[in-house]
A = this chain, B = another copy of it.
């Protein structure tokens, strides 16, 4: 990340959020707090920001848009997302399904991680515009409002032209016998197409989905490499899944 670029980023952040917290920015960008402080000092010298203890504020505190606040995912989702993000190796490609947990994964990708993200979710594509190094490949198709992702024939066809090391998919049901399930047939087909293009498929399964099943099957256990969940390790259902030869990663 270029120094000048970082300064632009700070100004954009200030315009968007109305304030800058040095510590948070440093963590978000993966740089030291010293650099942020130096940048803020310089920007303040140019009169572009107002330096305050702990960060900076806009010079004219009048016009602040708090509307565009990014909503923060709940803790459980964030923990699952953090583990999932850890599966993405530098230089590799990852297929990201839609849904809020997958979005959390995108936001959890370390800023310095160079990787390719393949997704059929425009929401995730937009979220990753902020990411300094991630390359995004968007799978097109008809966009469905309720799930906010592209699927259907065109999207499935587009998926045939990509491949990746890892695929991270979200489902509505995770059941020992039924496997992974979801509530819509087209959606199931799309997820299946995505999983087929990756060497390993991991499922993002927050605790409340464990043990439930929906109408349409996405994948049988045989085609799943692992499940990432925040459920308890001694959960009966989880143990049954483990018995199917599926790796279970716990996001404690």
Interface residues of A (CB under 8 A from B): 2-5, 8, 12-13, 15-16, 19, 21, 50, 52-55, 57, 61, 65-68, 70-71, 120, 122-123, 125-126, 128-130, 135-143, 145, 148, 150, 154-155, 158, 161
Contacts and interface: CB of A to CB of B under 8 A. Distances in A.
B138 A137 contact: no
Contacts of A55: 2
Contact of A138 (B4, B13, B19, B150): B150
Contact of A122 (B67, B135, B138, B141): B138
Q: Binding site of A, secondary structure by majority: helix, strand, loop or mixed?
A: mixed
How many copies of the polypeptide does the oligomer hold?
Answer: 2
B139 A125 contact: no
A29 to B, nearest CB: 15
27 contacts: A2-B19, A2-B52, A2-B53, A3-B53, A4-B50, A4-B57, A15-B68, A16-B70, A65-B70, A65-B71, A67-B68, A122-B125, A123-B126, A126-B148, A128-B143, A129-B148, A135-B142, A136-B142, A136-B143, A137-B141, A137-B142, A138-B140, A138-B141, A140-B140, A140-B150, A140-B158, A154-B158
